[in-house]
A and B are shown apart, each in its own frame.
Chain A
Amino acid sequence: MAVEYDGGVVIGADSRTTTGAYIANRVTDKLTPIHDRIFCCRSGSAADTQAIADVVTYQLGFHSIELDEPPLVETAANLFRASCYRYREELTAGILVAGWGGVAVGGSGSTYIYGFMDSNYKPGLNKDQCLELTAAALSLAMERDGSSGGVVRLATISEEGVERRVILGNQLPKFSSH
């Protein structure tokens, strides 16, 4: 998921990759850099999303050199859209490009937190509130969705740069168990 705050964007993801019921990687990094200040969160088929992300990283890098200036987030999103739409029959990919809109959620666990996000998000949050909200929302989704889990990876993207952090399983916010 991704949440915009005044001055930047917080993006977060869980860390589980599954082949059927087996967790192939429990510490996956789903926050993929596409450019210096543009990240994407990948969901769906790991193979498909990695392939698309590699293609878009190349295309965006090339485009940025041509322009001799940093690319727009919107440009990156459009490049993703072009690949995902053209090959939509063959692909299973849901990709979130950071910085797009105010808040966005995706992936299999996202259905469980629409209600939570609707009640807790409001525009005008600061960075720490965004981080707290993202960590809480991801914990709730990971608790309910079998395909989500592991650790929470967060990245804060702002003009100053990219700040990455990890919240381990035992440090995640806890909610009333019932």
Chain B
Amino acid sequence: MFNDIVPNPNMTYNRFKSLLLNTKNLTRPFLIHPSVQMENPPLVIAAASVLKELCYKNKEELQAGFITAGWDRKNGPQVYVVSLGGMLISQPVTIGGSGSTYIYGYVDAKYKPNMSREECLQFATNALALAMGRDNVSGGVAHLVVITEKGVEHVVVPGDKLPKFHDE
């Protein structure tokens, strides 16, 4: 199936959950262009703001929400979420998509600040596995992207390697 984690230049990734429009190709020109003109890679909030402008200005036509996560030199690791109407907020952890309703309780209970890389990966994998187990329109493989100052690592967990839980 298609991979909906989209890279932008230099360590910003956008996870989009749009229902109708494929907005993948609309953000690249906005972010490649400034980084050619400016010497520094773009800030994470810049990428998120571009998406926010798209969503907010075209809210009548679009049904699209985004989670933008990345690392930049000014503020380190950050997570931003652009909701359906175009509201942009920063959160330490956020979830979205149809399967997310089933894991709000799990994420609220299990998240703690300042987790290690391994703890975070396990937490994300578990949360995705639980959501995929309950939501009929979610499933297949889990794509995880780890973004740090050093670079980007893409981890793929196929369905049969996902953690299993006691399903009732």
Contact = CB atoms under 8 A, between A and B. Distances in A.
Interface string A104-131: 0000000111111111011100000000
A103 B167 CA distance: 10
B163 to A, nearest CB: 9
B167 A118 contact: yes
B130 A118 contact: yes
A116 B109 contact: yes
19 contacts: A111-B102, A112-B104, A114-B130, A115-B104, A115-B105, A115-B131, A115-B134, A117-B105, A118-B130, A118-B167, A118-B168, A144-B104, A144-B105, A144-B108, A175-B108, A176-B112, A178-B91, A178-B92, A178-B111
Nearest to B126: A119
A155 interface: no
Chain A contact residues, majority secondary structure = helix
Interface residues of B, number: 25
Contacts, number: 71
A96 B105 CA distance: 20
Contact of A121 (B101, B103, B168): B168
Interface in A129-175: 136-137, 140-141, 143-144, 175
A140 B105 CA distance: 5
A102 interface: yes
Nearest to B165: A118
A117 B107 CA distance: 12
B108 A115 contact: no
